[in-house]
Structures are given as structure tokens and as C-alpha cells.
Structure 1
Amino acid sequence: MTDYAEERQMELEALESIYPDEYQPISDNEFKISIYPDENENDKQYGVLLHVKYTPTYPDELPEFDIEDLEGTLSDDLHTKLIEELRLVAEESLGMAMVFTMASLLKDQLNEIVMSAQRILQQEVEERRRKAEELENAKFHGTKVTLERFIDWKKKFDKEVAAKDELERQARAKELKNKLTGRQLFESDKTLALSDAKFMEDGDVSVDVTLYDKAERSAMVDDEDQDNDENAVWKRLQDED
């Protein structure tokens, strides 16, 4: 006949020896063991409590057990997953002391959880760094030019240049239209032909240039220019004497 009380007592003594600081007795048949992942044994930033209560025929039947948060918080899904894995390993150990096996499995699972969290954190850090580098590089490289973007830009540029050229052409045409030459002004305003009469001396002959055609008026202007040139030469010779 199995002496369950004796087997339980032997296991409790072994657990106190293995976990001198982590073992927390509640009664002769109930206790808690603090479990931390290897990465956090020193600072104990994350950990759980394995809460165990022996049943009357333990180890021939499973003990009552649960997982309590000690440091950090387990999600509901993760808590359920760990409980199920502990149940499976305990069932494989029926008939033998099984708490140490359960505690070891829980520690391994916590190690994996911590490593996974660290990997995720590292990935997030690297992703933020990558995005920051992309933003910084974008300041120097600008937008990547593709053939489609270049064609769109070229069309827009040509349209802007054509519009600018048209405005300049219209401005020049308007300026030329409003700016008459001396001859055009003289021919278009007949009063100018008569205005010089005020400055004529006695004996000067008034000529009505409007009586001449365009060719004759042009010849008259050329003769006048030649006379002015000769007068200028004569005046310069007198000054030299």
C-alpha cells in the first residue's frame, strides 16, 4: 500500500533544498514556488508563482495547480497555454513526484517567452532605426526619379515654358505697337509738319511735306541729314582755325 503522505513529505524536503529562496510553504499540502527566467534571475523583472496543492492520492493523481503573476503580466492566451503544457507533462509523470518537472518546464517556457519578447523588441528598434535612416536619406536623395515621373515633369515644364514665351511675345508685340519710329510719328501726325513754322526766320520758305508722296518725303529727309552733316564738318573746321 502506497504511503502518500510519506512520498509528499519527501518531495517537499527535496523542493526546499532545490529552491531555498523560492519555496514558500502555505500548509503541509500546499506551497508556492517563485520561478524566473534565466535572463532575469538577478533583477527579477519578470516571474511567476507555481501554486501547488496536493490531492489525497498524489502522486497517483494530478495535484491542483495554477500559475500566478509575480512580475509582469501574462496574457490570458499565454496563461492558458502554460497551464495546458504543465498538465501534459504532469500526466506523463503520474505515479512519481512531478512538481520539480513541472517547475523546470515552466522555467524553460519563461525563458522562451523572454527571448521572444527580446527578439520582438529588437526588431521594433531596428525597424524604427531603419525608418529614421530612410527619412534622413530622403532629405539628401529626394524623390527617386522614374521614367513616368520624368515624362510628367517634362510635359509640365514644356507647358510652363511655352506659356512664359507666349506672354513675353505678347508683351513685345504690345511694346512695338505702342512705340512708333520718328518717321512713323512724323508721317502719322500732320501737325508736326507745320509745327516748325514757329521757328522759321524771315525769308525761310515753308514747305508743306504733306503735298509730297512717301518717296519724295524720304528723299527730302535724306538731303536734310546730308546738309546737317556738311554743316557739322564746316563748323569743326572753323573751330580749328
Structure 2
Amino acid sequence: MTDYKEEQEQELEVLKSIYPDEFEEIAEGEFRIRLEPEEPDSTAPLTLALHIKYTPTYPEEVPEISIDTLDGSIEADETEKLHSELMKEAQSSLGMAMVFTLSSLLKDLLTTFVMERNNRKKKDEEDRIRREIEIEQAKFQGTKVTVASFLEWKEMFDKKLADKEKASKNLLAIKKEEAKKLKLTGRQLFEQDESLANSDMKYIEEGDVTVDVSLFEREVDMSDEDEEDTSVLDLINYF
């Protein structure tokens, strides 16, 4: 009859000597071993622990295996992948002490995981920098012109130019109309501007001859009548 208890105790002694600082006993037949990657990431440290609990017939059967996160973070699906790899190794190691093999495998998997995560971070950073450079370069390259985009721009430009010319013509017409309204005859200026009449009145003193404007108006009327009579006579002589 196989003494499973003795085999388990012998393995525990070996593990404690191999991992003096990493081994942590939790209860009888239950313990965990702290593991770090070969090249830890100081910016995002990650420390896992291989959690083992012996079954009564271990190593003839697979022990209870779990993974504890002691430092940092790891996604649940990643933890599941690591656990799946450990279970495959445990199945192939049945009948012999396997904890050291499992802990070595987990350390290798953890190292690979951290390296891949760092590579992804590095690639993401490179992609971010490349996108920023492309954005900055695009500012100086401008927009590529196609036939369709040029025709669209020209249509808009012609419309703006026509609207501007129309507005200029309307403004000119308004200014001409205002100027026409503001243009006055000499008599209108004389009647509206009292200063013109007053400027002449200061030269009129006592004793000066008063001018009767109506006389001039009468003469003008008579001259007009004479011109009309002359025109009639000319017409009669012509016929």
C-alpha cells in the first residue's frame, strides 16, 4: 500500500528548501509558492502564487490547483489560460511529485505573459505616437483636390462673387438715389439757407436804391411773349 502522506511530506521538505522565501504554508497539506517573472516590470509589477492543496491520494491524482494574484492585476481570462496550462501539465505528471514542475511552468508562463504585455504596451505607444505625427503632418499637407471637389468649390466661389457684385450694384444705386434727392437748385439753396439772404442784407444801407424784383419778372414775362409772337410770325411767313 502506497503511503501518500509520506510522499507529500517529502515533497514539502524539498519545496521549502527550493523556495525558502517564496513558500507559504496555509494549513496541513495546503500551501502556496510566490512567483515573479524573470524580468519584472517596475512600472506594472505582477506577482502570482501557485496555490496547492493535496488530495488524499496525491500524487496519484491531480491536487487542487489555483492561482492567486499577490501584486498587480491580471485579467480573468488570462488567469484561466494559465490555469488550463497547469492542469494539462498535472495530468501528464500523475504518479510523481509535480509541484516543482508546476511552479516552474507557472513562472515561465508568467514571464512570457509580462513580456507580451510589455510588447503590446510598447506597440500601442508607438501607434499613438505615429498617429500624432500623421495628424501634425496632415496639417501642413492640406486637403487633396479632386475634380469633383474643385467644381464644388468653383460653384460656391462664383455664387459668392455674384452675390458680392449684386450687393455692390444695389449700394451704388442707393447712393445715386440719395445724391439725386440731396441735389438742390440755386433758388432752393437760397430759400433753405437763410445765411445767404442775410449775407446780402448787410450790404444794404439807408439811402440805397431798393430793387423791385417784380419788374424783372415782368420783363422776363414780356420777353417770353415777344419770343412767342416772333415764332408765330415766322411760321406764317414760312407757309
TM class by shorter-chain length?
Answer: 0.5 to 0.7
Distance 1:146 1:44 in 2: 49
**Could you state the TM-score of these two structures normalised by the residue count of structure 2?**
0.66
Identity %: 44
Tell me the residue number matched to 1:69. Answer: 69
Q: Give 1:89 shift.
A: 0.9
Distance 2:43 2:52 in 1: 25
Q: Deviations over 1:138-189 (max 9, x none)?
A: 4333334333322211111111112222333444556667778xxxx9xxx8
Distance 1:34 1:126 in 2: 33
1:52 partner SS:
strand
**Could you state the TM-score of these two structures normalised by the residue count of structure 1?**
0.65
Give the RMSD, CA atoms, in angstroms. 3.6
Q: Give 1:66 shift.
A: 1.4
Q: Deviations over 1:36-75 (max 9, x none)?
A: 1112188992111111122222111111221111112333
* 2:31 and 2:53 in contact (8 A); partners too: yes
* 1:44 and 1:71 in contact (8 A); partners too: no
The residue identity in structure 2 corresponding to 1:53 is: K
* Counterpart mapping for 1:86-105 below 5 A: 86-105=86-105
Tell me the residue number matched to 1:217. Answer: none
* Counterpart mapping for 1:83-232 below 5 A: 83-172=83-172
1:161 partner SS:
helix
Q: 1:142 to 1:133 in 2, by over 3 A?
A: same
Distance 2:178 2:64 in 1: 107
* 2:44 and 2:72 in contact (8 A); partners too: no
Stretches of structure 1 lacking an aligned partner (at least 5 in a row): 193-205, 212-241
Q: Give 1:118 shift.
A: 1.4
Pair 1:32 & 2:39 matched: no
* Counterpart mapping for 1:25-64 below 5 A: 25-40=25-40, 45-64=45-64
* 1:4 and 1:58 in contact (8 A); partners too: yes
Distance 1:99 1:41 in 2: 26
Q: Deviations over 1:4-48 (max 9, x none)?
A: 233223322322232222112334522210011112188992111
2:55 partner SS:
coil
* 2:15 and 2:100 in contact (8 A); partners too: yes
Stretches of structure 2 lacking an aligned partner (at least 5 in a row): 189-219, 228-239
2:39 partner SS:
helix
* 2:49 and 2:67 in contact (8 A); partners too: yes
The residue identity in structure 2 corresponding to 1:153 is: W
Distance 2:75 2:42 in 1: 24
Q: Say how many residue pairs are matched.
A: 195
Distance 1:29 1:79 in 2: 24
